[in-house]
Amino acid sequence: MTRLDPTEFTLGVFLVSVAAGFLGALTGLGGGIVITPILTLLFGVNIQYAIGATLVSVIATSSGAAAAYVREGYSNIRVGMFLEIATTLGALSGAFLATCIPASVIAIIFGVVLLQSAYISGRAREERSKRGPGSRLGALMKMNSSYPVGGGWEYYEVHNVPIGFGVMYVAGVLSGLLGIGSGALKVIGMDQAMKLPFKVSTTTSNFMIGVTAAASAGVYLHRGYIHPGLCMPVILGVLAGASTGTRFLVRSKVSVLRTIFGIVVGVLAVEMIYHGITGRI
């Protein structure tokens, strides 16, 4: 996959994955959004193998955090399990498409998604007041719930369930096609369309990401695109970086880091699109 010595290659991938996991935890986008383009552009890894390794790392990193958020009462399990139907179907669709679409086309699509993620990472995230009655479908499915706020609990209602379901299918397709958790799109769907509180949206998205990635990874494993020698340093690096980034986030102002992350992702996006158009991937 690369001309580097195996030891140098493993160490390099590990260090890059640590940085990706660290910045991903600070921005809330996850490290997977930058691992695939870095593996492809910097280390010369085939994009299908890079996507396979990223999917496995997404499963590993989301599992631990998801359990903590569920225990603390932030994640909405009913919403997450229902929307997982859409994301899983989308992930399977995207994974099958990835085996049929040329690598250069995937690179261009990835670049466009990276540009969108760079834009999101630079935006200030503020909780907005969610007013108005929720949807009858949400109430019927008992999706309305509450989450901890300042020592108490705040009640909220779910809106626009069908629209949220459709957005989740698109997020699943992108996850399977590009090897990313599509957390940004999931959060947008729950926050903007379904009008969930932002903390509930992000934590429920984290709960869903692992299941979505697992559905896609099964297809990549069957096709032979999961390489243990590549997955190992990626998983360990992202786990270490995300753990450090989470602790750093608690006590630090991350506006500058969000800007840096956005610039890095923007550069990677331009590189992916350029290499895809010129057929170098």
Rounded to an integer, the average pLDDT of 230-236 is 93
Side chain identity, residue 227: H
Report the distance separating Cα 32 and Cα 28, nearest Å.
11
Indicate if the alpha-carbon torsion angle 38, 14, 16, 6 is positive or negative.
Answer: negative
Averaged pLDDT of the chain: 80
Find the radius of gyration of the CA atoms of the chain: 18
Extract the tokens encoding 1.
């996959």
The secondary structure of 9-74 as a DSSP string is HHHHHHHHHHHHHHHHHHHTS-THHHHHHHHHHTS---HHHHHHHHHHHHHHHHHHHHHHHHHHT-
As a whole number of angstroms, the distance between CA 91 and CA 179 comes to 9
pLDDT at 250: 53
Residue 9 is encoded by which pair of tokens?
């290659």
- Structure confidence by residue, pLDDT tens digits, 136-162: 888 888 899 888 887 788 898 999 899
Q: What is the DSSP letter of 145?
A: E
> Which residues, 6+ apart, have CB-to-CB distance to 143 below 8 Å?
76, 78, 79, 82, 158, 161
Whether 187 shows a pLDDT value over 60: the answer reads yes
The model's confidence at residue 233, banded by pLDDT at 50, 70 and 90, is very high
Kindly indicate the confidence band of residue 2, based on its pLDDT and cuts at 50, 70 and 90: very low
pTM score, two decimals? 0.72
Give tens-digit pLDDT for 197-215: 877 887 788 778 777 788 7
Torsion over CA: 252, 256, 259, 265 (sign): negative
